[in-house]
Structure 1
Amino acid sequence: DLSLNVAHTYIIINSSLSIIFKPSNTQISSRPCSVSTSL
């Protein structure tokens, strides 16, 4: 149960970061694959 909570929180943080950085940086939104691999 605890690992599920951690994974769920990580997914929420990840999506929140992409929502925050997408409008401010066009390179990140145009190349999401490189961003996810660097994270």
Structure 2
Amino acid sequence: MAEKEVILTLEGLKKLEQELEQLKSVRRREVAERIKQAIEFG
């Protein structure tokens, strides 16, 4: 895979960090709950 230089502003970086935190906390719990329900259904 060829690496491509990405230019990112400080504002863009903060936005990506917030999105990552959202995915790691809120979305992870949502996905875990859906997996739990799927397991219960067999």
Q: Which one has the bigger helix percentage?
A: 1
Pairs aligned (count): 25
Larger Rg: 2
Structure 2 unaligned regions, length at least 5: 1-9, 37-42
Structure 1 unaligned regions, length at least 5: 28-39
List 4+ stretches of structure 1 deviating above 2 A.
none
Identity across the alignment (%): 8
TM-score normalised by structure 1 residue count? 0.52
> Greater relative contact order (Cα 8 A, min sep 6): structure 1 or 2?
1
TM-score normalised by structure 2 residue count? 0.49
